Amino acid sequence: MLKGNAIVGQSGGPTSVINASLAGVIDAAVRSKTIDRIFGMRFGIEGVLNDFLLDLGAESPQTLKGLRMTPSSALGSSRLKLKEEHFEPILRKLKRYDIRHFFMIGGNDTMDTIHRVVEYAREHGYEMHGVGVCKTVDNDLFGVDHTPGFPSAARYVALSVLQGGLLARDMQRVDQFTIFQTVGRSAGWLPAAAACAKRSPADAPHIILMPERPFQLDAFLEAVSEAHRKYGFVSIVCGEGITNQDGSPVSASQVKDNFQNVEFGAMGGTSVAMVLHRIISQRFGWRGEFQVTESLLMCAADRAVKLDFDEAYGCGREAVRLAEQGVQGVMVTIERASKPGEPYRSQFGTIPLRDVANAARPMPDKFIHRDGMFVTKAFLDYVRPLVGELPAYADLTIKRAKP
């Protein structure tokens, strides 16, 4: 067993349950016989570079208990892309604090950071175990059934489209269409989750646009016209990263982050919802509205799923357990242990960091309708146990009264 201190950081975008994973790491580390102290990185890997570490073992039990239900990233996040000149000072700081267990909670870029730091340490004769804890609302990490944060964000989307769909239906004489945009650069898991809101063909959403399928203008406009003809209004959900057939973003944004990911809707670009709004208005002359939630679905603890909190916390504890056993260079994963139709069950697994780093997991073809603008029953079977039951609202019997 490798004895010494441990460090944990959070990176990338937050989720409603990322702090539950942090609490799991802290709780397990405090009880560990191989870990003496547990430190936290202030603002991700920048906290190591800037020698800004927190003594997490000194936090009160009340704080740690509350942390399990607190949204956003309590340690502070970062999107720093490591360069070669960063590794030597990082290793020097880690040695200074006798860090032998290196944990980070995040997505594929975060797993890349862990992998590179631990490999650099190994190449320079310093033994350190690195274990990643999966996280992302996008649900696009390779090798998982789903990621902590996705179920709660998916529920946020489903509830928003359910409730906004009622508004759109009843305000159709004012606004003939609505567009709800979700985050997600290259995968359609979140916009697809809106389908949970649909109980009947007339219910929102009518059209779901996912990055896995190229945007086809003529087919889209035909679908918009058909939905309006049938239902009197049109509800559209789109992922921020949908692209044209030539691969260019529909949003036309050219702003990129430090990892060269396009920042859709950032300064210098236009949100895809605004583009679609303009297309529909110009084609049909209708009035409509668009809703761009951006990071709200990443921190809405009031709509979070208990299952999500529990699995996120368990992932954090599992990471420490693996490190204690000498397992390193892996990310903790959630695997579905139940079959369709059975009560939902999950278990933890692992995947090598090198297989996750900088890789993405799009929605499989079996989850996407053949027209590319909705989902299949297979996807609903997959996502509904994660989202949970949605409210059943009352509908009036729309029948003209007689005198």
Provide the residue type at 128 as one letter.
Answer: M
Q: Are 154 and 189 in contact (CB under 8 A)?
A: yes
Q: What is the side-by-side strand order in the sheet with 346-352?
A: 53-55, 35-41, 4-10, 99-106, 129-134, 330-336, 346-352
Rounded-to-integer distance, Cα 107 and Cα 79, Å: 11
Give me the active site residues, please.
Answer: 138
Distances (CA, A) of 115 to 83, 130, 156, 219, 232: 14, 7, 32, 43, 53
The CA-atom distances, in angstroms, between 11 and each of 56, 64, 111, 332 are 17, 19, 10, 16
Per-residue exposure over 340-376, b if at least 16 CB sit within 10 Å of its own CB, e if not: eeeeeebebebbebeebbeeebbbeeebbeeebbbbb
Taking the alpha carbons at both ends of the chain, their separation in whole angstroms is 85
